[in-house]
Amino acid sequence: MVYVKWVFWGLFWTGVIAFLHYTLPQHDVVRITDTYEKRVNPGDNSLFWSNADTGADPTATERDVFFIQTFRANDKPMIYRNEDTGWGWPPYFKFDTSNLQAEASDMMSKKSAENAQWVVVRHYGWRNEFFSIYPNAVSIWPVAGPDVQIIPWVKIVILLLLAASAWAIRVRWRRFWNGREKQGDTEWGVGRG
């Protein structure tokens, strides 16, 4: 019977960690090779696309989406999409998609180029070829080379806050139940006695 408890908590924490891994920002150092726009009609995987109706018709499912093609330091490709998140979830409040596309376009450099232009892409989301989902690029800035160290401050702060509040809740939960056991269970005996 105790396996049920383990499985439940295992699934719970897997869900929490997956959610955080998807939503919190990550940084990749890549070389941009192309930017393009493609018509997309999200169906089963629409959870992983943003339709943030910043000015456009919110009911239309088919729309044109910006993409940014990049290569990582190990010469493997990584494609990002570039969509507004608007006022919706996740709370990046990204409205400057077109600006970002222009900046990305400006920093393209092919493999054969003498000086490859390396950039950091801050993004959230997952790349999964099987489901055709792409991470959403939030901002881009140039860096000197592929070996720069990026410290993910926002992730650190948010995870610390979450851990602190989880611990605070756990402590109070324990205190409450320990208090109840000591007092014993009278019929109306909940309180400070």
The residues of the shown chain that bind other proteins, judged by CB under 8 A, are: 52-54, 58, 86-88, 91-96, 99, 138-139
| Structural tokens at position 115 | 């000086």
- As measured in angstroms, the least distance from the Cβ of 17 to other proteins is 23
Q: Length of the chain in residues, anyone?
A: 193
Q: Residue 193 and residue 191: Cα distance in Å, rounded?
A: 6
Preceding amide of 42 cis, omega within 30: no
Nearer to other proteins, 19 or 87 (CB): 87
- Determine how β-strand 77-82 pairs with β-strand 26-40: unpaired
- As measured in angstroms, the least distance from the Cβ of 87 to other proteins is 4
- As measured in angstroms, the least distance from the Cβ of 75 to other proteins is 30
- As measured in angstroms, the least distance from the Cβ of 58 to other proteins is 7
Residue with token string 């222009």: 102
Nearer to other proteins, 58 or 189 (CB): 58
Nearer to other proteins, 36 or 93 (CB): 93
Q: Residue 144 and residue 119: Cα distance in Å, rounded?
A: 8
